[in-house]
Structure 1
Amino acid sequence: MPSFIQTFGRFSATLHGVIVSSILVTGMLVSLLGGVLADRYGRVALGSLVFGIGAAVETTSVKLAMFIIGRLIKGVGEGIFLMTVYVLVAEISPAKRHGTVTNITQIMISSGIVLGYFICYGTQVINGSLSWRLPLAIQATVALTNTAACSLVPQSPRWLLMKGLTEQTRQTIAQLGIAAEEQEELFRQAVAGLEHSPNLSIFDSVKDVFAAPVRGRTIFGSFILAMQQFSGIDGVLYYAPIIFRQAGLRSTEASFFASGISALVMMIITVPATLMCDMWGRRTSSLVGGSLTFFFMLLIGSLYAAGKVYAHHGVARWVVIVSVYLWACVFSVQPGHWVFACI
């Protein structure tokens, strides 16, 4: 936003990348500890609290360094809670509906992205720094409210069993309506010792997930999620307004609006994808979706690399804009990677 530039000044594309990726750096590092923290203290609340604090620091920033620190703190929160949200939902949902229920989380994420773009579209007309501070203040409020709301969410039966809370586990299972055969499997795994202790050290926990019985699943889940990130989702979400401006939508309003529409498309497509996830299978959605996202991202990148995208003329700019929308659609219909990683 112009008001953001007025507050912190102009900076190079490299520094822009540092600002954007700062949240990902700490998120990646802390995610190594996220599972350990989730096993010890529960699935979601701690990360949401840290994220809200980081967003509050961003909101009140007076120097660019302070803003970056806020993003680093937010990254810590993301590293703690982002994956454990999917784990919690998978653990409390019926086995036959793992795909559908787990992907409801993706619908909510898509909804948040839509709100983020359109909130910025609305606030960018405000004079002064409130135009960029207000969206971040809303983000902090949502995160801290979510922290409080976590007290209403039951802990996962698996987590309760790891803690040795058998009676509370039975109460939670009854509350969730888990089928009898699933209950037997859950207790059988606990008795067999397949669930690692929540009191292990960080080193032992990491060593535990790479032990012989589960090493293959750990590597496969890590590979699936790494490829999901490398597919270009962060590039599309973070840089969509810039991509659209480079493709000819010169005003801030137009680029935010176009970005909001792309996020809206993702959200709309996610709904039928969620309902049909358990019908067409995780493997099919991952293979077909992965191939198409590869094609569209390669097409966009090739046009920019060849210098064919001009802001005021040429068909390439429209190919880029349409490809961004198609890429968003295809990405949204492949929820299989999250389900694979969670179960």
Structure 2
Amino acid sequence: MGLVGGEENGNADSVSEIRLVSNDNKYERVDDKSHDSKKFVFVCAIFASLNSVLLGYDVGVMSGAIIFIQEDLKISEVQEEVLVGILSIVSLLGSLAGGKTSDAIGRKWTIAFAAIVFQAGAAIMSIAPSFGILIIGRLFAGVGIGFGVMIAPVYISEISPAVARGSLTSFPEIFVNLGILLGYISNYAFSGLSPHISWRLMLGVGILPSVFMGFALFVIPESPRWLVMQNRIEEARSVLSKTNGSEKEVEERLKDIQLAAGMAVAENYEGKAVWREILKPSPPVRRMLIAGCGIQCFQQITGIDATVYYSPTIFKEAGIEGNTQLLAATVAVGFTKTLFILVAIFLIDKVGRKPLLYVSTIGMTACLFGLCLTLALLGDGQLGIALAILAVCGNVAFFSVGIGPVCWVVSSEIFPLRLRAQASALGAVGSRVSSGVVAMSFLSVSRAITVAGTFFIFSVISAVSVAFVHKCVPETKGKSLEQIEMMFQNEWQGEVEMEDAERLVQR
């Protein structure tokens, strides 16, 4: 009886002992269920992240495809900037609509819709006979990506247990990196073909990842939090029983979700009311918006998309010649970016969000400044080329180990349920706009102040991001989504109490 009591009180050691010494099938089933729930959540996170491959693939493949598009369609430098950057700008439409759409039709079917829209865009791009048609394809692809990058972290954070939420919510960033690597490899693989064929194959291959989303829809369930918001309680309980290890945990999580959803319903949070609270936020919500949207913007304005999209331009500036050599160097960047995102996955729920952010932003600042000095002082020699490649690989490595994945984790878990979809959409909009501005201005700014000068600006912005992380981003490791919401509420209340105490002392 004592051991059973220990299990009821959540004593993990007692539970483990019971499972080892007891032959009772009851305890074996509990252990098996816990194992099965972990596998099920893991599979759901993978499938939900497939749309992120599309974004990564587009970023990676366009860095090489643009070389052959220029040669085939004879586009200007301005058209090149527009072609590269328009996807990020247009994706904000998908991200803005994604919050409302996911609240209306559910997280799962928003993921499916994102894949369908991107497929249409990729197909149009691959057969585009002119620059105008190519832009139309980019518009469709951008909207699809906007939906995808907004909804995947939200969905994963809502189905994941708190202990593993950081790692699982990082999956979309893993798949972005995988997509970038696949894009680089595609560039290298098709670079030997004629310009008219090569870039079409490079872009057309991007359709394949979204095809797998059709299979994913037969596996992944709807978000239990969305089901509760729709008053589909039994369906939510069924999903939670698949994603949590014990019935007690299922009921506790369901109670927390119902409480959060009940608050939203009681306060009659219609779509307009949600946006009204976001646009005129209370102090706790303002803190959430600053942290969530701010980290999204810093992720992009530190220049990661410029580094990835224009890595051939950077390496050409360092002295590498020939398209094949340039594209081979970018493959090294892709491998580095993908490798270090795996490091982040293992660490994010162990060491926490903020330590990784500190390492990431400080490391990026050093690498960006190092790249600036290398391009400005070392010219076209072998040492300059080696240091440039090292600085670029270091920059993407530090990005992938911290701000890359942690950005999406933090922005998907800090908002209350009633605001989560819309506020996450707003953060994704900030990310996409920042990405588009960087991508569409990089060549022009580099021509005006040199590539080295441009990366000096990125290094300064990265240094500012270190201070932002210290001041505005909280540690959320190990907390449930509902506990994180209360943390913002309590922290603000604590500040108010401190201010009141100071006034009393002064009086």
Give the TM-score normalised by structure 1: 0.90
Offset, 1:128: 4.6
CA distance in 2, matches of 1:159, 1:17: 39
CA distance in 2, matches of 1:157, 1:177: 12
* Contact 2:371/2:391, CA 8 A, preserved across alignment: yes
**Helix, strand or coil: the match of 1:279?**
coil
Identify which of 16, 34, 47 aligns with 2:98: 34
Question: Could you tell me which residue of structure 2 aligns to residue 299 of structure 1?
Answer: 370
Offset, 1:70: 1.2
* Per-residue CA distance 1:174-203 (angstroms, 9 max, x = gap): 122255346424433433446756x97654
Identify which of 59, 71, 87 aligns with 1:23: 87
- The structure-2 alpha-carbon separation of the partners of 1:147 and 1:21, relative to structure 1 and needing over 3 Å to count, comes to farther
* Per-residue CA distance 1:263-318 (angstroms, 9 max, x = gap): 111111222221121111101111221122122223324555xx4463x4374443
Moved more, 187-196 or 146-155: 187-196
Question: Could you tell me which residue of structure 2 aligns to residue 313 of structure 1?
Answer: 381
- The structure-2 alpha-carbon separation of the partners of 1:154 and 1:313, relative to structure 1 and needing over 3 Å to count, comes to same
Task: Extract unaligned runs of 5+ from structure 2.
Answer: 1-64, 414-507
Question: Could you tell me which residue of structure 2 aligns to residue 72 of structure 1?
Answer: 139
Offset, 1:162: 1.3
> Does residue 318 of structure 2 align to residue 247 of structure 1?
yes
**Helix, strand or coil: the match of 1:153?**
coil
**Helix, strand or coil: the match of 1:26?**
helix
Question: Could you tell me which residue of structure 2 aligns to residue 94 of structure 1?
Answer: 161
Identify which of 182, 201, 206 aligns with 2:275: 206
Question: Could you tell me which residue of structure 1 aligns to residue 297 of structure 2?
Answer: 226
**Helix, strand or coil: the match of 2:193?**
coil
Question: Could you tell me which residue of structure 1 aligns to residue 76 of structure 2?
Answer: 11
* Equivalent AA in structure 1 for residue 81 of structure 2: G
- The structure-2 alpha-carbon separation of the partners of 1:164 and 1:109, relative to structure 1 and needing over 3 Å to count, comes to same
Could you say which structure has the higher helix fraction? 2
**Helix, strand or coil: the match of 2:319?**
coil
Task: Extract unaligned runs of 5+ from structure 1.
Answer: none
Moved more, 325-334 or 34-43: 34-43
Question: Could you tell me which residue of structure 1 aligns to residue 483 of structure 2?
Answer: none
CA distance in 2, matches of 1:217, 1:162: 21
Offset, 1:65: 1.2
CA distance in 2, matches of 1:135, 1:70: 14
Rg larger in 1 or in 2? 2
Offset, 1:221: 0.5
Offset, 1:209: 3.9
CA distance in 2, matches of 1:200, 1:69: 36
* Contact 1:33/1:202, CA 8 A, preserved across alignment: no
CA distance in 2, matches of 1:322, 1:170: 50
* Contact 2:228/2:261, CA 8 A, preserved across alignment: no
CA distance in 2, matches of 1:322, 1:111: 20
- The structure-2 alpha-carbon separation of the partners of 1:78 and 1:100, relative to structure 1 and needing over 3 Å to count, comes to same
Offset, 1:28: 2.4
Question: Could you tell me which residue of structure 2 aligns to residue 338 of structure 1?
Answer: 408
What value does the CA root-mean-square deviation take over the aligned residues?
2.4
* Equivalent AA in structure 2 for residue 299 of structure 1: G
* Contact 2:154/2:412, CA 8 A, preserved across alignment: yes
* Equivalent AA in structure 2 for residue 103 of structure 1: S
Give the TM-score normalised by structure 2: 0.62
CA distance in 2, matches of 1:46, 1:195: 29
* Contact 1:189/1:195, CA 8 A, preserved across alignment: no
CA distance in 2, matches of 1:196, 1:62: 50
> Does residue 329 of structure 2 align to residue 258 of structure 1?
yes
- The structure-2 alpha-carbon separation of the partners of 1:256 and 1:42, relative to structure 1 and needing over 3 Å to count, comes to farther
- The structure-2 alpha-carbon separation of the partners of 1:194 and 1:337, relative to structure 1 and needing over 3 Å to count, comes to farther
Aligned positions, number? 338
Identify which of 177, 186, 193 aligns with 1:110: 177
* Contact 2:173/2:341, CA 8 A, preserved across alignment: yes
CA distance in 2, matches of 1:272, 1:249: 30
Query: % of aligned pairs identical?
Result: 28
CA distance in 2, matches of 1:65, 1:25: 17
Question: Could you tell me which residue of structure 2 aligns to residue 191 of structure 1?
Answer: 259
